[in-house]
Structure 1
Amino acid sequence: MTRVRQMSESVRERIDRRLGDPIWWNDVLQLVKTVLAAVAAWVIAASVLDLPQPFLAPWAALLVVHATVYRTFSKGAQQVAATVVAVLLATGVGEALGLTTGSIALLLVVALVLGAVPWLGVEATTIATTGLVVLTTGFESDVLLISRLVDTGIGVAVGLLVNVLVWPPLRRRTAAEAMDRIDDGIGALLVDIADGLGEGCQEADVAAWIDRTRDLDGDLEHAWALVRQAQESARMNPRRSARAMKDPKQWHGLLRRMEQAVAETRSLARTLGSQQAHRETWGAAFADPWLAMLGDAGRGARSADPAALVDVRRRLEVFAEELRSTERSPEWPIYGALIINLRNIVDAMDVVAEANPIGGNRLPLRIPVRRGTAAAG
């Protein structure tokens, strides 16, 4: 029974995390909007206007509803242009060669060659498939050709309206969540380095720390891409909260600070790796306070505690001043390098910690707990 209860609590916890995740709800909303746009386009084309072959309307709507309003408009314009080109191409090939294997091959070749046109290149497949449908389902009737253009226009228009009017997407939370995870990762790595040095690390541990900084570099690249997408999502977005994302200078500054912190952490780890013998000869006078400050800096970054990071900076300044008054030893260059690395990390991360939580609070959604279950726990 205990194991079953633990599994149940684990499942409940995962569901609660999902329900409180605004990014997940954003994806769900985008899925619902896409389906809504496609169904509405079909109803308008098939039931309201009674077009003879309305299948292009929901298809165009599916292609047009994108992650940002700006991309929806730009892709909508490309979609209309690609459909017009496809209809004209299918009509010309059909009138010249009829419906034959050669005409289909020629249409596909020409459509894919149009992919060389920069503005239409991303729609090369759309031109080919639309032209193929027009050619094989009837190119001789002007009514059908006009109907296909109307179908596409309906799909594009419905997709635009749904994406703009129904909670237009603003990818702010997605980018913010990625940034929050990076500073957590930096803090966790600093704590692990401090703990590892205190217990006596090996070359493999240092190599693993350096590899983790490379992973953080990849996370930073992903976060930069998400911030750019969030900035794009603010363009042509009617939501009031979109104004701040049109030029997210603060986020750019935070990402640059985290890039510096990662670079300094990698430098610190490489210093440790190239000076293994020195770790054994540091002595408690340097090792104990420096390792304590390194661990506290990591915990401050991980918990987004700017006061803790400011305290580490103050302690580090006092520590460096005390070292200057002591007799210099052969280890002094290593002491200086490690102190500078830690100082730069703290200087970079205190502003990041002060800005957290970047993405705001989680949504207050959870699975209801029955009174009997709560009392038993």
Structure 2
Amino acid sequence: MQVVRNWTPSVPQWLKKHRDPVVVQALRSTAAATVAYVIALRLSPEPAPLTAPLTALLVVQVTLYATLTTSFRRVNSVVAGVLVAVAFSLLVGLTWWSLALVILAALAVGHLVRVEEFVPEVAISAMLVLGVTTVSSTAWARVVETLIGATVGLACNVLLAPPVWTEQASESIEDLARRVRRLMLLMGEEAAGTTPVEHAAARLHEARRLDHEISDVDAALRQAEDSLRLNPRVREGLLHRVVLRTGLDTLEICTVVLRVLARSFTDLAKERAPEPLFAPSTGAVVEQLLSEIGDAVVSFAVLVTTAVSVNAESAESRLAAELRQAAATRDKLAQLLLEDVQRDSCHWHLQGAVLTEVNRIIDEMDIEHRSRRLFEELDCHTRARRERVSRLTRIRNRLGVPERLRRNHEDGARRSL
């Protein structure tokens, strides 16, 4: 029994580790490359058909959507390179100037056939085929190996469903929100006391770095969006994509406004040095307001990354309560700033800018504002889908597709919305 107790806690950890998308992707890529090599050994005339496992390894991307698009572009690039090499082999041999012409022509053809990131692959295929004596057999072998690798990669995604990366994207969004909150707390603490210009400038640099790190979160979100497309394990993939995307857009706006707020604090520190940024009573309210807004930013991130409806409702209620409290504190700060300006109007433009910036952050996270944004995005996607369906309907009418098949396709399109 002792052995069972020692192993039991590690079982959930082992399962969680092996469900990690990175682990799943590594296993899928290894399996696809191995199977492609075994098949190519039987079908390709080459003794070591490494093009097949290489193609499978590159084709089996992290998402099914990326796999489909990558497979088409990679096969297209290899075939284009082989055709360029065959054409040059019939005219000239392999010399330094013919190699230069092959590379130049292959790169130009790669751009013409729109293989995007696989443009160098066109030139690589052309050089590998041109560099051998038996051009025809090598060209045929390379095409066969590429087709085998692409087919195995596609089959791997059908049999082994690719991982969904929404959890990683959600963690990135929540981590960004927590970093925004930490910076707000630091700025609030400094606003309540005497802030040297160096400290205010340091907060400004932190806000700029935070603004630059949004690109990493955006990359994680794009990967999650691709993993939701054409994935048979995902329902309502469009809704998940829109919720996460609009949530990140709102956080990005809040981060930009926070950078502007840090700039206003830095300018205030320069203008009022060696005095505090605000009067003691006003500074305490600024600290309270930034703390409440920071809590609301984290709650907003939790709301947009919560999938279960019950938890989403509680997160929305918590966010609404925090925004109401922040709005009340903002009104209190507005009154105090008005009194300060009436006593001394030297820095009214900077103090008014602070109030405008915190008000912008509160408005961006407003529940009604978020709902309108979601409806607008969903409406845009719905209109685009209907336009595609209408174009397909016109094509089917011209081709004379039976009405029964047309209704089945339209019903499936409506269900996917």
What TM-score results when the alignment is normalised by the length of structure 2?
Answer: 0.68
Once the two structures are TM-superposed, the CA of residue 161 in structure 1 deviates from its matched residue by: 1.6
Paired residue for 1:59?
A: 54
In 1: Cα distance, 2:215 partner to 2:339 partner: 43
Q: Secondary structure at the match of 2:342?
A: coil
In 2: Cα distance, 1:256 partner to 1:301 partner: 13
Paired residue for 2:67?
A: 72
Paired residue for 1:9?
A: none
Match of 2:265 among 264, 268, 272: 272
Once the two structures are TM-superposed, the CA of residue 299 in structure 1 deviates from its matched residue by: 4.5
Once the two structures are TM-superposed, the CA of residue 156 in structure 1 deviates from its matched residue by: 0.6
Paired residue for 2:214?
A: 220
Are the aligned partners of 1:183 and 1:302 in contact in 2 as well (CA < 8 Å)? yes
Amino acid paired to 2:31: L
Q: Deviations over 1:120-165 (max 9, x none)?
A: 35333222222222233443555x5433322211111001121343
1:310 aligns with 2:324: yes
Instruction: Say if 1:68 and 1:184 are closer, same or farther in 2 by CA, change over 3 A.
Output: same
Paired residue for 1:233?
A: 227
Instruction: Say if 1:287 and 1:46 are closer, same or farther in 2 by CA, change over 3 A.
Output: same
Amino acid paired to 2:329: R
Are the aligned partners of 1:41 and 1:57 in contact in 2 as well (CA < 8 Å)? yes
Q: Deviations over 1:98-131 (max 9, x none)?
A: 4555554443332233244260353332222222
**What value does the CA root-mean-square deviation take over the aligned residues?**
3.6
In 2: Cα distance, 1:97 partner to 1:298 partner: 69
In 2: Cα distance, 1:65 partner to 1:211 partner: 40
Are the aligned partners of 1:163 and 1:169 in contact in 2 as well (CA < 8 Å)? no
In 2: Cα distance, 1:126 partner to 1:177 partner: 35
Paired residue for 1:150?
A: 144
Are the aligned partners of 1:34 and 1:65 in contact in 2 as well (CA < 8 Å)? yes
Paired residue for 1:179?
A: 173
Paired residue for 1:346?
A: 362
Instruction: Say if 1:138 and 1:153 are closer, same or farther in 2 by CA, change over 3 A.
Output: farther
Identity of aligned residues (%): 26
Q: Secondary structure at the match of 1:251?
A: helix
Once the two structures are TM-superposed, the CA of residue 42 in structure 1 deviates from its matched residue by: 0.4
Query: Residues 184-263 of structure 1 correspond to what in structure 2 (within 5 A)?
Result: 184-241=178-235, 243-245=236-238, 248-263=241-256
Q: Deviations over 1:70-93 (max 9, x none)?
A: 222222112222222222232233
Once the two structures are TM-superposed, the CA of residue 51 in structure 1 deviates from its matched residue by: 4.1
Amino acid paired to 2:126: G
Amino acid paired to 1:238: P
Structure 1 unpaired stretches of 5+: 1-15, 356-377
Amino acid paired to 1:348: E
Deviates more, 1:327-336 or 1:246-255: 327-336
Instruction: Say if 1:281 and 1:71 are closer, same or farther in 2 by CA, change over 3 A.
Output: closer
Are the aligned partners of 2:192 and 2:280 in contact in 1 as well (CA < 8 Å)? no
| Higher RCO (CA < 8 A, seq sep 6+) | 1
In 2: Cα distance, 1:231 partner to 1:19 partner: 25
Instruction: Say if 1:225 and 1:245 are closer, same or farther in 2 by CA, change over 3 A.
Output: farther
In 2: Cα distance, 1:108 partner to 1:260 partner: 45
Deviates more, 1:111-120 or 1:302-311: 302-311
Are the aligned partners of 2:33 and 2:149 in contact in 1 as well (CA < 8 Å)? yes
Amino acid paired to 1:160: L
Match of 1:107 among 95, 102, 118: 102
Match of 1:39 among 31, 34, 49: 34
Q: Deviations over 1:183-217 (max 9, x none)?
A: 11110111001122334221111112222222222
In 2: Cα distance, 1:336 partner to 1:151 partner: 67
Paired residue for 1:372?
A: none
Work out the number of aligned pairs and report it. Answer: 334
Q: Deviations over 1:222-279 (max 9, x none)?
A: 33344334333333322224x3247733223322322332233233323322233285
Q: Deviations over 1:321-354 (max 9, x none)?
A: 5777999322593554434433333343576xx9
What TM-score results when the alignment is normalised by the length of structure 1?
Answer: 0.74
1:162 aligns with 2:156: yes
